[in-house]
Amino acid sequence: MLGGSVTTTGNTDVCLVPPEVPTPFPNMATWTNSIGFVPEILIIMSPSCNILTSISISTGDEPGKEGGVKSGTTQGVFQPLTGLPNVLLNGLPACNVGITNGTSNTTNTTSIYTIPSQTVVVAA
């Protein structure tokens, strides 16, 4: 389950670099920038995350100043799309390693969260 500080990396974000050249960039987001986390439930003294927790801005694709090839945006929201249905935090599925994420915007490719932020509380 997510709790603590970690950076998660999404799939490559293909953005347009002047003069309109499609170029792949890594797309990352840091959970310490999350909003909508669960402050009442602490994991290693850090708020936990459920599927309503999002990261307000992603980084790494800023050089694509013309925006994403499909979306036309960069530095978008990083949003969990799936969670653990058998572990609820404030009534919603908890986020854990293996969840699917929407990266940068709703029209970009999805990614899978693969790096644990903590290894004390593990759920499957």
Rounded Cα distance between 113 and 124, Å, is: 14
Confidence of residue 93 (pLDDT cuts 50, 70, 90): very high
Report pLDDT digits (tens) over 18-65: 888 888 877 777 777 888 888 898 888 888 888 898 888 877 777 777
3-state SS assignment for residue 32? helix
Report pLDDT digits (tens) over 69-84: 777 777 778 888 888 8
pLDDT of residue 5: 55
The residue written with tokens 């920038």 in the block is 33
pLDDT of residue 1: 46
Instruction: Please say if the pLDDT value at position 101 is more than 70.
Output: yes
